[in-house]
Amino acid sequence: MKLVTAVIKPFKLDEVKVALTELGVSGMTVTQARGFGRQGGHIEIYRGREYEVDFIDKIRVEVACTDEQLDAVLDAIVNSARTGSVGDGKVWVVDVVRVVRVRTNERGPEAL
Amino acid sequence: MSLATIIPYPSWLNPADNTWQLVAATLVGLMSLPGIAVLYGGLVRKKWIVNTMMMVFTGFSLTLVVWMLWGYNLAFGHLSHFGPTGSFWSGFIGHFQPLSTAGAEQGQAVSGANSLIPFHFSTATLAYFQFVFAAITPLLFLGGLVGRIKFKAWLLIVPLWITLIYCVNAALLWGGGFFAQKGAVDYSGGYVIHLSAGVAAFVGAAMVGPRRWQDRENAFPSNLMMVAIGAGILWLGWNGFNGGDPFYAGADAASAVLNTNVATAVGVLTWVLMDMFFSRQKKPTFLGAINGMLCGLVAITPSAGWVNGTGAIIVGLVAASIVWVAWNYLSRVRPFSKVDDAMGVVYTHGIAGLVGGLMVGIVADPGMVQYGVSGAHFKGAGAISVGGWFYTHSFHQLWEQFLAALWIIGYTAVGTVVVFSIVKFVLGGLRESEETLALGDIAIHEEEAFPEPTFGEPVLTPSHLHPDNL
C-alpha cells in the first residue's frame, strides 16, 4: 500500500476530488496548508505599504491506495491539478506499513 | 399640583430638538463603541485586538466620569474670568464643578457656545451630546499609540488629557471663549477634535516610542471586514456628528448631513483614483478607500453646515488629495519618518482637520444659514453664517482659522508632552515590557481575540480550575 500526498492549488481541489472518486479511491484527507516552493511568496499592500507574504495558501491532499492503483491515482491528481504555471504543487509517495480500520479492526488493503 | 400642570415638556423644550439631539449623540457614541473599537481592532495585528478594544471601552468610560465630575462645566460652563473681558485669560476655561444636581441636569441647557439663542432641550441632553465628542478624541489619538502603550498609562492619560487639553480647546472655540469671540469657527470639531487628536497621536507616539520592529514589519491587519464595519459606522455615525451641531432639528442639520456625505464620497473616490493612477503599485486598495473616507469626513467637519454642495465636493477633493500626498511622501521625511504613528492619525485626522478648518475660510457660503431665524442676533448681524474668500473676497475668516489652528497645534503638542511626562514619571514608563510586547493581548489581559479551546470534551473531572478545588 502507498500513501500519496499532494500539495495543490486550493481552487483545484474539486477537480482532483472528482478525478479520484472516478477512479474508485475510497477516501481522502484534505488539510489547509501554507508553504512555498519555487513560486516563492507574494506581495500584499496595506495602507500603501508592501508586505512580503512568504507562505502561500495550498491544499494538502492525502490518499492511501493499493500498489496497483498507484499510477492511476498519480495520473488523476497530476492531470486534474495542473494549470501549467509555477506553483501547481508537488506530489510524493511513501510506503504504508499497515492500515487499520478503527471501527472493525480490519487490517491491510481491505481496510482502505 | 393638579394633573393638568404635569406635562413632560416645559415651555422651553422642543420634543423634536430634544429627540434629534439625543439620537445624534447616540450616533456619535456608536462611532466610538463599537465603531473605533472594531476599526482599530481590525487594523492591528491579531495579537493586539483585545488590548486595542479594551483601551477604546475604558477610554470612553473614563471620559464620561470626568465629564460628569468636572469636564462638562470646564469646557461648556460659564467662563472663568482670569483677566479683563475679551482677553485670552477671560475666555479659555469654564468652571471646575460637577454636573450632578437634578436642577442642573433637567434645566434648560445654557452654554457659552451660543448664549444668544436659547437651546430647546435640557442640560443633560447637551452634556451627553458634548460628551460623545470629548470621548472620541482620545480614542482617535489612541490610533497612534496602539501596540506598545502601557495599559495603566492609558488609564491615566485619558482623564488628564481631557481635562487639560480637550476642555481648554473646547472652551476656546465652542464654549464662547477667546477664539470664538475673535471669529474663528469650528462647526463640529475639525480643530477641537481631529486636528488636536492628530497632533496628540504624533507627539504621543514620539514619546512612547515605536512599536517593536517585528510588529511594524509584520503589521498585517487582523480583519478587513471588521474595518469595513467600523468604517461604515463612522461614516453614518457622522450624520449625528455634524448633523447634531446646529443644536436644532432644522434645515441646517439636514444640509450638514448631506454635505458630510457628499464630501466623504468624494474623499473615497479621490483616494481610490489617486491610488490607481499615482501610487507605485497602481492598485485600488480597500484601506486606501477608508483613508479617503476619513479625509472627507474629517475635512467637512469644520464647515459641514456652512458650505453649499459644491463647497462640500471641493472640501472632499482637496482634503483627500492633500492627505494622499502627505501619506505617501511627507511620511518619508523627518520628523514624520521617525515617529511610529501606528494608524497614521496625524494624516487622516490631523492634516485633514487642518485642511478642513482652513477651507472654511475659503469656501464657506454666507447663504448657508445655521439657524433659519432672521433677527437672531449673532454679533449683531442676523442669523449665523460664515463667509469664505470665494464669496467675500476677504481673507479675514481664513486668517482667523489660521490663528486658531496654530493655537490648537501648539497647545495640544505642548499639553500632550506635559500629560505624557506626568504619566511617565508616575508609572516609571509609558511602554509595556519587551516580553509583554512580544506576546501582546495574552500577556496583558490573559485573553485573546480568537481563543482556541482544547479539542474535544474534557475527560478528567473536575479540573484544577473548578471552583470546588480552589
Nearest CA-CA distance, residue B217 and chain A, Å: 8
Examine residue B242 and state whether it is found in any structural domain, yes or no. Answer: yes
Is this structure's pTM higher than 0.95? no
What is the pLDDT confidence band of residue B383, given thresholds at 50, 70 and 90? low
Examine residue B153 and state whether it is found in any structural domain, yes or no. Answer: yes
Using a CB-CB distance cutoff of 8 angstroms, which residues of chain B are in contact with residue A55? none
Question: Residue B70 and residue B63: Cα distance in Å, rounded?
Answer: 10
Say whether pLDDT at B211 is over 70: yes
pLDDT one-digit tens code per residue, B416-444? 999 999 999 999 999 999 999 999 999 99
Say whether pLDDT at B411 is over 50: yes
Closest CB to A47: pick one of B218, B283, B287.
Answer: B287
Examine residue B8 and state whether it is found in any structural domain, yes or no. Answer: no
- B67: closest CA among B128, B4, B2, B140? B128
Nearest CA-CA distance, residue B27 and chain A, Å: 27
Percent of chain B with pLDDT over 70: 91
- Which CATH number goes with the domain that contains A85? 3.30.70.120
Using a CB-CB distance cutoff of 8 angstroms, which residues of chain A are in contact with residue B279? 48
Nearest CA in chain A to B44: A46
- Asked if the C-beta of A44 comes within 8 angstroms of chain B's C-beta atoms, the answer is yes
Say whether pLDDT at B100 is over 80: no
Cα separation values, B29 from B128, B217, B352, Å: 9, 33, 21
How many domains is chain A partitioned into structurally?
A: 1
The pLDDT assigned to B119 comes to: 86
pLDDT one-digit tens code per residue, A60-98? 999 999 999 999 999 999 999 999 988 899 999 999 999
How many domains is chain B partitioned into structurally?
A: 1
What is the pLDDT confidence band of residue B376, given thresholds at 50, 70 and 90? very low
Question: Residue B367 and residue B390: Cα distance in Å, rounded?
Answer: 12
Those residues with Cβ within 8 angstroms of residue B12's Cβ, 6 or more apart along the chain or in another chain: B108, B118, B119, B120
pLDDT one-digit tens code per residue, B195-206? 999 999 999 999
Q: What is the mean pLDDT of residues B349-378?
A: 80
Q: Which residues, listed in sequence order, are joined to residue A57 by a DSSP beta bridge?
A: A34
Predicted complex ipTM exceeds 0.95 = no
- For chains A and B, CB pairs below 8 A equal 25
Task: Look up the domain containing B147 and give its range.
Answer: 13-106+119-445
- Which CATH number goes with the domain that contains B73? 1.10.3430.10
The pLDDT assigned to B378 comes to: 43
Examine residue B290 and state whether it is found in any structural domain, yes or no. Answer: yes
Using a CB-CB distance cutoff of 8 angstroms, which residues of chain A are in contact with residue B221? 46
What is the pLDDT confidence band of residue B89, given thresholds at 50, 70 and 90? confident
Q: What is the mean pLDDT of residues B127-142?
A: 96
Examine residue B400 and state whether it is found in any structural domain, yes or no. Answer: yes
- Measure CA B66 to chain center: 17
Closest CB to B291: pick one of A47, A50, A51.
Answer: A47
Question: Residue B447 and residue B454: Cα distance in Å, rounded?
Answer: 15
Using a CB-CB distance cutoff of 8 angstroms, which residues of chain B are in contact with residue A48? 275, 279, 285, 288, 327-328
Say whether pLDDT at B412 is over 70: yes
Q: Which of residues 49-68 of A touch B (CB under 8 A)?
A: 49-51
**Preceding peptide of B15 cis, ω within 30°:** no
- B109: closest CA among B123, B94, B89? B123
User: CA quadruple B140, B144, B147, B148: dihedral positive or negative?
Assistant: negative
Question: Residue B209 and residue B18: Cα distance in Å, rounded?
Answer: 45
The pLDDT assigned to B114 comes to: 54
pLDDT one-digit tens code per residue, B7-57? 778 888 999 999 999 999 999 999 999 999 999 999 999 999 999 999 999
Q: Evaluate whether B16 touches B210 at the Cβ level (below 8 Å).
A: no
> Do the Cβ atoms of B221 and A46 come within 8 Å?
yes
Q: Enter the DSSP assignment of B454.
A: P
Nearest CA-CA distance, residue A54 and chain B, Å: 11
pLDDT one-digit tens code per residue, B296-334? 999 999 999 999 999 999 999 999 999 999 999 999 999
Name the amino acid, one letter, at B396.
Answer: H
Question: Residue B35 and residue B136: Cα distance in Å, rounded?
Answer: 10
